[in-house]
Structure 1
Amino acid sequence: MNIRKMADSGNDFLAETDSPLGLGESGKPIPSSPRVLSILSSVFERSIQKNEKLLKKLKTKDNVTVFHGSRAPTMGIGQYIDRISKYTCCGTPCLVVAYIYIERYLQKMDAYLTSLNVHRLLITSIMVAAKFNDAGCHNNTFFARVGGVSTKEMNRMEIEFLSNLDFRLHVTADIFRAHCLQLQKEGFGENPINHRPSNKTRAKCLPQIAGYTCRAV
């Protein structure tokens, strides 16, 4: 089942456009909503704070992988997700699937999400989700530029990510819907958000990618 079909089954989670999971009436994907970006950013930030506090308490370090850097990137998680969404035009359904992939990866590897690996896990999972469900997806070089990594590193992360997921990228409608509801619940308690798209909502990708570096060393 592809993202579009799963999105049609996720009516419980509405994007700011009042359209099920960011899909317009025509069935064509539209840009992910600021509300979704905010919720995902908040979820990842809280998870990282909890994990890093636990690791510090246990006086241990997480296993280093190809997704780890020696220091946390200067760009915040929210800004990074917004950057990816802005340039790749990955909509809400793609971001939800990427979120599911990251959960699968962490569970399989018995790993922690931290400030040292979240950025590269994000760009990799979103790229994999987009490529698996969109025949017209951008290539690895494009995603590498957006993510601030080299194409060589992007290729390496993709292989590592897919291998650890055993190349199992299918997401059922039930699992998709469950995660949509989970994210929706995570959104409760946040500052009230206007459920209408702002004038700044992007309708198409920008032709030029602003420079950024998110190095792993």
Structure 2
Amino acid sequence: MDVEYVGVKQEFLEDSIIYSIARVLDEIVRETDIIESPQQTAFHTNKKPAISLAKYLERIQMYSYCSNECFILALIYIDRIQQKNQDVVINSFCVHRFMFACIILSIKYNDDDYYKNDYYAKVGGITISEINKLEQELLTLLDYELYVSQQQYYFYKDKLMKYAKL
């Protein structure tokens, strides 16, 4: 088997994870945008971001140099937030910031190398004080539970890969 082909195939699968996550979250947002959010969090903004979620995730991937596992962990964290906090509605006014903060936490928890928050703030298009506040609130919403079992990780990854093929 040609090694270059395997590399291209693997790169496609890794890219499809990011786009699958964006598609999943876009579907959630379409449903939740019609619901009035009972609780405004530090993640909520006054207006919807102009950049699509897929483009935003591409930007984060490009400049954070994180592993693809971090994106799957971030999706798991978002799912946990929704399970633990029924009154927090993730909609188009907050999905970018939730995903960004979840990715940053997953990088810090999972990857060996990571940058300081001032760098990540520039990548995410927010201030250093905002990223610190988001990180703190996210940890609270998650009850500081960042560990993801191997079984749960692969469950989500498999679902995303199946979703990518649709």
Same fold (TM over 0.5): yes
Distance 1:186 1:47 in 2: 14
Q: CA RMSD in A?
A: 2.0
Q: How many matched pairs?
A: 160
Aligned to 1:179: 156
Selected match of 1:43 from 24, 28, 31: 24
Name the one with the larger helix percent.
2
2:92 paired residue number: 115
Aligned to 2:141: 164
**Structure 1 residue ranges without an equivalent (≥5):** 1-14, 23-31, 190-217
Identity %: 26
Query: Helix, strand or coil for the counterpart of 1:33?
Result: helix
1:133 aligns with 2:110: yes
Question: 1:153/1:76 Cα in 2 relative to 1: closer, same or farther (>3 Å)?
Answer: same
- Quote the offset at 1:17 in angstroms: 4.5
Q: Which of these residues, 40, 60, 63, is aligned with residue 64 of structure 1?
A: 40
SS at match of 1:119: helix
Name the residue aligned to 2:3: none
Q: Map 1:1-217; keep pairs closer than 5 Å.
A: 17-19=8-10, 33-53=14-34, 55=35, 60-110=36-86, 111-189=88-166
State the 4+ residue runs in structure 1 displaced beyond 6 angstroms: none
CA distance in 2, matches of 1:136, 1:81: 19
TM-score, normalization by structure 2 = 0.89
187 and 62 in structure 1: CA distance in 2 versus 1, 3 angstrom threshold: farther
| TM norm structure 1 | 0.69
